[in-house]
């Protein structure tokens, strides 16, 4: 808890949240990712990680304090590395219907279609009680970023007539996330399929209807 699990490295440390990672640590994390994302925390053995990473068990323990330390380092890395800036570095159109549709497109292509997203979300939810700091990191990194962007847009566009931007942003992204959960995790695709297009169209008609009311 008090010492970092990472040793020194020649790689430049850009900021506190992405520590330098040596080639061996990289190798360990790659193997650990495959096993943890597939088998969960308790279902993963350090033996399996060592064979999957192609290093001995002791090598893992020399780089990471213990199983928990390895797990935390891995989840932080995957979360930050994959989803840190999906909603930040883009250029956005100002037209509401275009902006909202672009936002959903980013979510589906950069997040939902990322093959690591579903296993990561599953794992973070499963371990949210044992590793609350990882759950909070995920909420800040992935969910909160998109909501902030949408809230700011609502604030800049009073003509949309959005009474409670935070609530509407929560509903907007909640609908997207829950659609992925129901369709992909709970096998809704097989049982009650609902295309992304229909979801997005429904979502946009709801949000943009506020504007039309104001106009009339």
Partner DNA sequence: GTCTATACCCTGATAGAC
Partner DNA sequence: GTCTATCAGGGTATAGAC
63 sits near DNA (criterion: CB under 7 A): yes
Closest CA to 149 of 90, 201, 105: 90
Name which of DNA, its own copies, none residue 46 binds, using a CB cut-off of 5 to 8 Å depending on partner kind: DNA
115 sits near its own copies (criterion: CB under 8 A): no
CB of residue 134 to DNA, shortest distance in Å = 17
- For DNA, give the closer residue by CB, 48 or 148: 48
Among 140, 152, 156, 159, binds its own copies (CB under 8 A): 140
Name which of its own copies, DNA, none residue 206 binds, using a CB cut-off of 5 to 8 Å depending on partner kind: its own copies
Task: Give the Å distances, CA to CA, from 94 to 48, 70, 74, 101, 136.
Answer: 50, 43, 37, 11, 31
Task: Give the Å distances, CA to CA, from 86 to 23, 105, 144, 195.
Answer: 26, 11, 11, 23
Within positions 36 to 95, which residues make up the interface with its own copies, using CB under 8 A?
A: 39-43
Name which of DNA, its own copies, none residue 47 binds, using a CB cut-off of 5 to 8 Å depending on partner kind: DNA
Q: By the 8 A CB rule, do 161 and 206 touch?
A: no
Name which of DNA, its own copies, none residue 167 binds, using a CB cut-off of 5 to 8 Å depending on partner kind: its own copies
Helix (H, G, I), strand (E, B) or coil at 174: helix
């Amino acid at each position: 808890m008090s010492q970092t699990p990472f040793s020194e490295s020649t790689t430049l440390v850009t900021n506190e949240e992405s520590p330098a990672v040596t080639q061996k640590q990289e190798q360990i994390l790659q193997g650990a990712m495959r096993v943890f994302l597939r088998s969960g925390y308790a279902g993963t053995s350090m033996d399996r990680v060592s064979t999957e990473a192609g290093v001995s068990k002791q090598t893992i323990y020399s780089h990471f304090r213990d199983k928990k330390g390895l797990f935390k380092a891995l989840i932080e890395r995957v979360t930050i590395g994959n989803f840190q800036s999906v909603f930040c570095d883009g250029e956005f159109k100002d037209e509401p219907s275009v902006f909202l549709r672009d936002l959903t497109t980013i979510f589906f292509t950069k997040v939902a279609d990322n093959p690591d997203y579903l296993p990561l979300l599953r794992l973070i939810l499963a371990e949210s009680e044992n590793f609350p700091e990882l759950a909070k990191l995920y909420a800040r990194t992935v969910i909160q970023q998109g909501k902030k962007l949408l809230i700011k847009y609502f604030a800049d566009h009073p003509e949309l007539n959005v009474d409670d931007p935070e609530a509407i942003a929560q509903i907007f992204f909640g609908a997207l996330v829950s659609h992925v959960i129901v369709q992909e995790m709970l096998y809704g695709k097989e049982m009650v399929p609902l295309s992304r297009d229909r979801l997005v169209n429904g979502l946009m008609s709801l949000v943009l209807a506020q504007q039309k009311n104001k106009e009339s």
